[in-house]
Amino acid sequence: MTYRTFAVFVSFLLAGAVPAAAQDEPARDQGGLEVGVEEMESGGLTGSVSDDSDWQDLGLAISTFATDRDVPTRASAGSTAQLGRALSRIISDNLRNNGLFKPSGPAGLPQPSYDQVAAPDYSAWSLRTTDMLVQGYVRANSDGRLAVGCYLYDVALRQQLGKAGWLVAPGDWRRAAHKCSDMVYARLSGESPFFDSRIAYIAETGPKDRRIKRLAIMDSDGANHRYLTSGQATALTPRYSPDYKSLLYLSYLDGTPSIYVYDLAEGRQRLVTRSNNPTFAPRWSPDGRWILYSMAISGNTDIYRVSAQGGQSQRLTSAPGIDIGGSYSPDGRRIVFESDRSGAQQIYVMKADGTGQRRTSFFGGRAATPEWSPRGDQIAFTHIAGNLRIAVMRPNGGGLRHLTDSWQDEAPTWSPNGRILQFFRTRRNSGEAAIWQVDLTGRNERRLPTPVGASDPAWGPVRP
């Protein structure tokens, strides 16, 4: 990964790059992206579009990003002009596909000139009943990197609501579109961003009884897809580390199901613990310092904690039966997990050191694969009562709500902002699996595009 080349684009560059902007921007814009972010959060719009049902009706236009000079680049999208079109399409798709907005453009909309990016033609846009307008530019930097600027305007108020800019390596050009999507989404909804994030999952091919399962990763919109294992050994249940530098996953590499820590930069992996016993269900702590895994000894499975650096494991559960999984609260102080100590799979909460274990799910059926929301206010899980369905409840066990209703939906994973859940849906008989997502209100259910069958999604945090 090339985090280092993804530098914050200092805003004097932004102003300097767009001549019209240089005159218009007040002095407060001289502090770089961080200042810009603070402006956004303290801005006056929060709340005015906070009702989900109203977002759809917002006249949001995404115009083609302009360029000062159409020159070739090393980005896969092509020249700077081609990049401008591709960036605006990605932003439009991001905002549309997640059911948040119904944006228009970039096709069928006027294309602002480079000089208009920071000085929009408000009169023309208001005639098109545009409420909110996204403009931007892309420029080839002399060092080979790309400068991308992103502006959000309230057309009726004739006011700039937000702007941000980034310098990206050519291979990371899509990230600028995701960062811009995040800025627009966060500014309009008041929610935290989530588009600039990645997903680890298991790619599935072949018949049901000899299915090939490979570890794979992709961007939140399915782009930059990559297989990490060959499929010779079955791979299951990956989890991205919070810094995206490594993955935990289960592999049958040596015949016994075992958890490995896969280093993405090195392309190497190590066992999470040296043991002849099988290990399952790996999880990270939110700060990336701890790894949870479950280990079966003579058929009895318990949850263990080990430092991400390695060393001695600490056993957290000891009840007879299957204690498995585990998901940390955002503050890292509690763990929600699954246990059948009462006779069937139910959800329990304990302190991070394993003390204070108590059951929280007390409704019909079984409850499995609990995942704590990054916002801390909900637990997502698989509710098994006849069919398998994705459900949420409060951490204390109240407020049960089903979000899906299909034959077999399981293993929810939260978007970084805790507003959307991904899971995998299995088809009856064929066993074909695909990743789907649904938002916290139970709406906007959709299938994610993947090259082949897909299961075990794990959504990582917003990238640094």
Q: Between 49 and 295, name the residue whose CB sits nearer to other proteins.
A: 295
* Torsion of the alpha carbons at 280, 209, 453 and 425, rounded to the nearest 10: -70
Q: Does 85 bind other proteins (CB under 8 A)?
A: no
Give the residue, chosen from 37, 233, 319, 452, that forms a contact with other proteins under the rule CB under 8 A: 233
Amino acid making up residue 122: Y
Give the residue, chosen from 234, 275, 406, 444, that forms a contact with other proteins under the rule CB under 8 A: 234
Q: Between 374 and 412, name the residue whose CB sits nearer to other proteins.
A: 412
Q: Does 319 bind other proteins (CB under 8 A)?
A: no
Q: Between 283 and 463, name the residue whose CB sits nearer to other proteins.
A: 283
Q: Does 280 bind other proteins (CB under 8 A)?
A: yes
Q: Between 26 and 364, name the residue whose CB sits nearer to other proteins.
A: 364
From residue 86, alpha-carbon distances to 139, 226, 277 in Å are 14, 21, 50
Q: Does 165 bind other proteins (CB under 8 A)?
A: no
DSSP alpha helices (H): ranges in 313-360? none
From residue 59, alpha-carbon distances to 52, 130, 360 in Å are 14, 5, 43
Own/partner pairs, 153-161, CB within 8 angstroms, 24+ separation: 153/120, 153/122, 153/125, 154/45, 155/120, 155/122, 155/125, 155/126, 155/130, 155/131, 156/126, 156/131, 158/122, 161/40, 161/43, 161/45, 161/132, 161/187, 161/188
Own/partner pairs, 352-358, CB within 8 angstroms, 24+ separation: 352/285, 352/290, 352/305, 352/328, 353/316, 354/303, 354/305, 354/314, 354/315, 354/316, 354/317, 357/317, 357/319
* Interaction residues for other proteins, span 370-429 (CB under 8 A): 382, 384, 388, 408, 410-411, 426, 428-429
From residue 257, alpha-carbon distances to 278, 323, 389 in Å are 5, 17, 26
Cβ atoms of 301 and 275 closer than 8 Å: no
Cβ atoms of 111 and 81 closer than 8 Å: no
Give the residue, chosen from 314, 344, 363, 441, that forms a contact with other proteins under the rule CB under 8 A: 344
Edge-to-edge strand order for the sheet containing 387-393?
Answer: 366-372, 379-385, 387-393, 401-402
- Residue 228 CB, shortest distance to other proteins, in Å, is 14
- The piece of 63-71, 81-89, 152-160, 248-256 that touches other proteins (CB under 8 A) is 248-256
Return the DSSP state at 99. T
Q: Between 182 and 410, name the residue whose CB sits nearer to other proteins.
A: 410
Return the DSSP state at 191. S
**Number of residues forming the site for other proteins (CB under 8 A):** 49
- DSSP SS3 for 321: coil
- Residue 287 CB, shortest distance to other proteins, in Å, is 23
Q: Does 329 bind other proteins (CB under 8 A)?
A: no
Q: Does 294 bind other proteins (CB under 8 A)?
A: yes
Give the residue, chosen from 132, 281, 306, 434, that forms a contact with other proteins under the rule CB under 8 A: 281
* Interaction residues for other proteins, span 107-146 (CB under 8 A): none
Q: Between 207 and 398, name the residue whose CB sits nearer to other proteins.
A: 207
Give the residue, chosen from 47, 108, 299, 398, that forms a contact with other proteins under the rule CB under 8 A: 299
Q: Does 209 bind other proteins (CB under 8 A)?
A: yes
Binding mask 16-55 for other proteins (x = CB under 8 A): ----------------------------------------
- Residue 323 CB, shortest distance to other proteins, in Å, is 9
Give the footprint of other proteins on this chain (CB under 8 A).
207-209, 211, 213, 230, 232-234, 236-237, 250, 252-257, 269, 278, 280-281, 294, 296, 298-301, 322, 324-325, 338, 340, 344-345, 368-369, 382, 384, 388, 408, 410-411, 426, 428-429, 431, 455-456
